[in-house]
Amino acid sequence: MAFKLRSIDVTATGREIVRDTDLAGSAIIIGRSADCDIHLPDLALEARHARATLLEGGRVEIRALGTLGFSVDGTDTLHAEIDPQIGAELGFATYRITIAREDGDVLLTVRKSASIGGDLEEKQGFSLAGVLPSKRWISWGFALVILLAFLAVPIISHATRDVAARQKVIGDKAWSTGELSLAHHSLENSCESCHVDAFVSVRDETCKSCHKTIHDHADRDKLLAAHGRQPLGTRFLYSVGGIFGKEGQDSCSDCHTEHEGPVELQAENQQFCADCHADLKSNLAGTALGNASDFGKVHPQFSAAIVTDPQTKTIKQVSLDSTPREDNGLTFPHKLHLDPKGGVARMAANIGDEHGYGSDGMQCKDCHHATKDGVRFVKVDMERDCEACHSLSFDEVGGQFRKLHHGDVDKIIAELNSADISRPLPNPRRRPGLYADGPYQFSFSAPVWQGLQWRTALSPRGVCGECHRPDFEDGKPGVLPVTLQTRYFHDGWFDHGPHKQEKCATCHLADASTANTDLLLPGVKDCRTCHLGEDAKAPKTPSTCAMCHGYHTPGQGVLSQLENKKTARTIKKKTTKAS
């Protein structure tokens, strides 16, 4: 099988001259150059324009050698495979090459068309285009129809409608770019609720007329400074938007785009936050916040709000990198209570049926109870969570046990001073743990002088002193107040619900904690064992900023409050200098 070339030339009188030539080789070159196997003298072609190659099975491959292609049955391409048995017509500028099979060879018939457009001019005289108005007249006609139907009619309808009857404006849907979101769907027929002034962008004060409790993410000056210097194109676009009343960067409409259809508000992607927070240290001088752009790569260590002085209830925001110690006023070793072989475990096993404790000792759930929504945990309550083991009974009268009033030292002193404590309680419970082997009643032993019993109770080995620290202020007996934190990260949140499959000890090393001052909080490194940034791949969990942080969430944390004060002066100086 080989190539056979058939050239058809047309004389001035219209007579065709046909020449057949056998081409050697399984590949031939088509182009403008005279040394090509098929010479097509047309300046629109490259010197070596394409190669035709015989393939196994009798097919022919046509491949362009440059950037200019060719057409196959009217379709432009750079490469094609053709079955000669079916045939095809190739177009090279003003030349047409027909591929067919003849006597087992591939026949290439080359013919030059009259022009690129052929006899288009002649055909147009008999087409619909030949009798219609010109495109210019048609364009002007359509423009007039659009103005009448979509501008004049709505204006006239708006001017003549009965507002009291709540008549709709005819054709106003044509001016809407789409349906409203689900949150604003009730305003579909009340455009003026948001669009107060004609041809003016929705203003922030219009949004805040309904969303009264929504506030800025931060001070407006700080937001603008955090963006850094914007590219020239971005600044130009905002300046153009300002002509039409758009308030500029960080306005409500800059993030919340409406008329996107009946969808719920979606959390922004990671880049939305990274635009400012990726280089916050440089753009916002004096900030206490660290740079953050991807939780798995760039994120500062967590900062927890801890109690540092129980007397004044002072709370400080401290980075977990500094291994902070908390002082909430209690004396409570977790390890002692969670030791499966200790005295606490034995006592829990003995009274388990009555209080729901397991036979293998105390568990976290015995004292820490989740909130109804499962997000966090309620504060530990003495009467509910501790008294099963730490009894406050101190006297028996008529078969009834008297209990100390927990939380009121004055009442405790009065009760102990008035009690007949010379009689021990029947069958007193033995104390748990390694503190002592004697009866629990010993804290209320018979006094040698008035006041000894409550002093004993407030001592480090007494019923109160076991968990509380005595505080004799101005000679008045008492204990340090207790301040229990239920939320350490005020500028972020953590939902325990989705983490139910994990054990408490996975994140909180309570079974190794010997002091109440230990801060049993996981750090960034611990969270990264499961959570990485937005582009994380399985088995890691993709975690965007919105998973733990909100945008309009008020800054409740100490760090947020300090941040507002710390950077205010810096921002003011920058603004004054720029003006």
Q: What is the pLDDT of residues 280-295, one digit of tens each?
A: 999 998 888 999 999 9
Region 343-354: mean pLDDT is 85
Structure confidence at residue 566 (pLDDT): 42
Whether the pLDDT of residue 557 is over 60: the answer is no
Whether the pLDDT of residue 436 is over 50: the answer is no
Cα angle vertex 134, ends 131, 140, to 5°?
135
Structure confidence at residue 572 (pLDDT): 38
Cα gap 404→411, rounded to integer Å? 8
Structure confidence at residue 382 (pLDDT): 92
Whether the pLDDT of residue 125 is over 70: the answer is no
Greater confidence (417 vs 17) lies with 17
Contact 326, 308 (CB under 8 A): yes
Cα gap 25→54, rounded to integer Å? 9
Cα gap 227→218, rounded to integer Å? 13
Greater confidence (246 vs 146) lies with 146
* Backbone phi and psi for residue 105, each to the nearest 5 degrees, phi listed first: -100, 165
Greater confidence (497 vs 434) lies with 497
Cα gap 446→448, rounded to integer Å? 7
In percent, the amount of the chain with pLDDT more than 70 equals 86
pLDDT band (50, 70, 90) for residue 545 = very high
Whether the pLDDT of residue 379 is over 60: the answer is yes
CA dihedral 565, 569, 575, 576 (to 10 degrees): 150
Structure confidence at residue 126 (pLDDT): 59
Whether the pLDDT of residue 100 is over 90: the answer is yes
Cα gap 499→526, rounded to integer Å? 14
Residues 6 or more apart whose Cβ sits within 8 Å of residue 274? 292, 293, 294, 545
Structure confidence at residue 270 (pLDDT): 92
Cα gap 579→576, rounded to integer Å? 5
Structure confidence at residue 177 (pLDDT): 82
Least confident of 134-148, 198-212, 426-440: 426-440
pLDDT band (50, 70, 90) for residue 554 = low
Cα gap 188→553, rounded to integer Å? 28
Structure confidence at residue 290 (pLDDT): 92
Q: List C-alpha distances in Å: 88 to 3, 59, 148, 254, 479.
A: 15, 12, 50, 55, 100
Least confident of 231-240, 319-328, 350-359, 463-472: 350-359
Cα gap 128→126, rounded to integer Å? 7
Greater confidence (326 vs 453) lies with 326
Structure confidence at residue 257 (pLDDT): 85
pLDDT band (50, 70, 90) for residue 89 = very high
Give me 75's structure tokens: 């379709």
Greater confidence (401 vs 53) lies with 53
Whether the pLDDT of residue 337 is over 80: the answer is yes
Whether the pLDDT of residue 123 is over 60: the answer is no
Region 520-547: mean pLDDT is 94
Q: Which residue from 287, 259, 256, 290 is spatially nearest to 272, judged by alpha carbons? A: 256
Kindly report whether the peptide bond that precedes residue 41 is cis, defined as omega within 30 degrees of 0. no
Whether the pLDDT of residue 130 is over 90: the answer is no
Structure confidence at residue 459 (pLDDT): 82
Region 339-361: mean pLDDT is 85
pLDDT band (50, 70, 90) for residue 120 = low
Contact 358, 344 (CB under 8 A): no
Whether the pLDDT of residue 425 is over 70: the answer is no
Whether the pLDDT of residue 401 is over 90: the answer is no
* pTM attached to this predicted model: 0.61
- In this structure, which topology does domain 3-115 adopt according to CATH? Tumour Suppressor Smad4 (2.60.200)
pLDDT digits (tens, 9 = 90+) for 476-506: 888 899 998 888 998 888 999 999 999 999 9
pLDDT band (50, 70, 90) for residue 433 = very low
Region 467-472: mean pLDDT is 87
pLDDT digits (tens, 9 = 90+) for 156-172: 887 887 766 667 778 77
In percent, the amount of the chain with pLDDT more than 90 equals 42
pLDDT band (50, 70, 90) for residue 568 = very low
Give me 115's structure tokens: 């022009």
Q: List C-alpha distances in Å: 281 to 278, 285, 290, 300, 491.
A: 8, 6, 7, 12, 18
Structure confidence at residue 326 (pLDDT): 94
| Three-state DSSP class for residue 292 | coil
Region 554-575: mean pLDDT is 43
Greater confidence (84 vs 424) lies with 84
Whether the pLDDT of residue 420 is over 70: the answer is no
Average pLDDT score over the chain: 83
Domain-wise residue ranges, the chain: 3-115, 153-266, 387-479
Contact 286, 563 (CB under 8 A): no
Residues 6 or more apart whose Cβ sits within 8 Å of residue 44? 93, 94
Structure confidence at residue 222 (pLDDT): 87
Whether the pLDDT of residue 298 is over 50: the answer is yes
Structure confidence at residue 415 (pLDDT): 84
Region 369-382: mean pLDDT is 92
pLDDT band (50, 70, 90) for residue 434 = very low
Give me 268's structure tokens: 């922004």
Structure confidence at residue 162 (pLDDT): 77
Greater confidence (6 vs 402) lies with 6
